[in-house]
Structure 1
Amino acid sequence: MSSTFYFYRLGKRRSEQGFSLMELLVVVAIIGLGSMLSVAWLGSGNSDNRLRGVAHQLAGEFRLAGNVATSRQQVIGWQPVADGYQFMSWQPDGRWQPWGTNSGLAPTRWPLSVQPERSPLPSSETALPWLVWWPDGEVLGAQLTLNSDTARQTIEVTALSVSLLDGSHE
């Protein structure tokens, strides 16, 4: 039976070979359903895993800020804002200016409800950002704790490294 089907397919004209529109639609629908389910599954992770992902992303951006500061010879700062955070650069006229979006250090909104804390606490009499990277590799570092509803994640920023303090080192 299968050899008959094989010869039948070979005997078709060129215009009759290939997949029908219905077969292609079924395949596209299956792929769409699978990707929709995987996105829903990944998005519903517990807040601890989601906060850990935010901390990993932020640690990567902190490393990038250090690299940008040394490669572009600019002082770069990081500051939380109402619903997210932003990177800033020190200007020759003596003020901080939000960093542009073209370097990967764009202003970012927290993907979930996050309350950052800095240790040691920032001085109230200065307008310095919470973290600062200088072109010579110096860093005004700190421990930054991200708090969500049920989880905490701490990032330590020093001149030597950026570390997640839950035991994993970046």
Structure 2
Amino acid sequence: MSDDAEFAAMFQGHATRVVRLAALLGADDPEDVAQEAFCRLYAARDRVDDRAVAYLNRIVVNEVRSRHRRNQTARRARLQLVELPTPIEHAGAYAERSAVIDAINTLPSRKREALVLRYWLDLPLAEIADAMGVRLGTVKSLLSRGLDALANELGETR
């Protein structure tokens, strides 16, 4: 991906997916995460060949982690917590989807990352391990425990 035309095509093909990935990983500002990821990919485009998509996924995971850490530090520093209003519940499939997303957001970040990469991006286990920077066995464990916790949160049996 050495020329700008290839990069532009990659951006057009993956921008929406990267924003959604960042949102599902829990980013407060998924568009900014996507922009930062593409900026970093652009800077490294000469070093990245056929693994650009995997590299992009890894950048997004790492950027969301970094922002979560920064936000946690800022929250600890605040004296008051502001409670946000809850959204109005909608009927049907939207309510079910909303319940699943709310349940996913209660999971610890590593379990949430593994579940999103596996079941939303449909990545193979090896690519998830690469994106998260962990071993294959850790990915399997995170997925299993994450699914158990998700089922428990939703009140279902697995």
Return the TM-score normalized by structure 2: 0.32
> Which of the two has greater strand per residue?
1
> Which of the two has greater helix per residue?
2
Return the TM-score normalized by structure 1: 0.30
